Amino acid sequence: MAQDRLEFAVVPTAIGECALVWNERSEIVGSALPHGGPEQVRRAVHGWYPSAVEAPPSPVEGAAAALTRLLADGVGTLAEIPLDMSAVPDFDRRVYEIVRAIPPGETRTYGEVATELGAPGAAQAVGQAMGRNPFPPIVPCHRVLAAGRRVGGFSARGGPRTKVRMLETEGVYLEQPTLFDL
């Protein structure tokens, strides 16, 4: 079977340049959070999808607009963006479907996701699936926390700080805001 032609666009957002990678059916096959600048995000995309060609985002304009809005003000959902999960292992796909249903402003723990998956005790496996997430923030791994509402890991540039910033944009504060945060 011939592989789809892949295209990508660098999308400027409030937190930096992100990327969307799509196939001929305008399904997202991958995305990237900021990597330090447009050239770094292009290098990351080419590392994951060597054959992807940069193109205007017209086929995925709605996805780019929704992504930009969510990262700017925490409003909106990316749940309707079509994803191509054909290369994603079954366990990860099932985790991503659950996580994708978490609305902005809400969180779950790795353990809660595992329980919803029907695999209580698989919190660590859920965390590993989040670390492999090829669709951030369309699959909003930043909304999944460690036990006790601790930040846990985050593989995007800036690590846990970026995760906290994304959550705060959506109105989720893991600590009470101080006078200087209001």
Task: Kindly list the catalytic residues.
Answer: 141
**DSSP secondary structure, 52-112, as one string:** -EE--SGGGHHHHHHHHHHHHHS-S--TTS-B--TTS-HHHHHHHHHHHTSPTT--EEHHH
CB 169 within 8 A of CB 71: yes
Q: What is the C-alpha to C-alpha distance for residues 131 and 95, in angstroms, rounded to an integer?
A: 12
Burial class of residue 67 (count of CB atoms within 10 Å of its CB; 0-12, 13-18, 19+) = buried
Sequence-separated contacts (24+) of 98-103 with Cβ below 8 Å:
99/130, 99/139, 99/140, 99/141, 99/143, 99/144, 100/138, 100/139, 100/140, 102/140, 102/143, 102/144, 103/77
